[in-house]
């Protein structure tokens, strides 16, 4: 397996309304490989902490991986379970999905994320700041060195 793990949660809306947490890797053939899954009451810090503790216990090799997530619903607060040696990245696709809650500015996200220079990035962020301070504040709180578009 490549040293890469994607973490995310999704809602189960059938008979029982719960949340499915997933850890997914990529195998030697480039195919997605579910490493672990868990069903929890909700996607929050306690649930992610529980899930990551068991993932680390079951597959200690994940501690040598790069983790990518959507930075939402308690996951970033629970990442301390994995320790300091983990490379963490934040998926731009998921950031964009989260960014859509700021109405009428979602079209500004990708030009910011794909800016080719620091100057271009800051120019686009200043434009966003003038249109939607809340949206700009949301992005400024996320270390741009962690953004990735894989």
pLDDT in tens, 19-32: 999 999 988 888 98
Q: What are the strands of the beta sheet with 66-69, ordered from one edge?
A: 32-40, 17-26, 4-13, 66-69, 87-91, 147-148
Distance CA 144, CA 100 (A): 18
Domain that holds residue 67: 4-85
Same domain, yes or no: 16 and 44: yes
What are the backbone angles phi and psi of residue 34, rounded to the nearest 5°?
Answer: -75, 120
| 109-121 per-position pLDDT tens digit | 999 999 999 999 9
Sites in the chain below the pLDDT cut of 70 = 1-2, 71-77, 79, 85-86, 150
Same domain, yes or no: 8 and 69: yes
Residue bearing tokens 């480039």: 30
Alpha-carbon Rg of the chain, whole angstroms? 17
Same domain, yes or no: 108 and 125: yes
User: How many domains, the chain?
Assistant: 2
């Amino acid at each position: 397996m490549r040293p890469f793990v994607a973490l995310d949660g999704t809602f189960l809306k059938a008979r029982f309304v719960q949340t499915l947490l997933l850890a997914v890797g990529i195998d030697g053939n480039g195919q997605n490989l579910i490493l672990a899954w868990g069903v929890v009451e909700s996607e929050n810090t306690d649930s992610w902490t529980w899930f990551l503790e068991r993932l680390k216990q079951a597959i200690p090799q994940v501690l040598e991986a790069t983790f990518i997530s959507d930075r939402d619903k308690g996951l970033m607060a629970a990442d301390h379970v994995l320790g300091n040696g983990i490379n963490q990245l934040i998926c731009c696709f998921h950031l964009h999905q989260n960014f859509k809650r700021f109405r009428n500015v979602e079209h500004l996200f990708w030009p910011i994320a794909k800016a080719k220079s620091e100057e271009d990035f800051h120019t686009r962020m200043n434009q966003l700041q003038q249109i939607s301070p809340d949206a700009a504040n949301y992005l400024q709180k996320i270390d741009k060195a962690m953004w990735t578009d894989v």
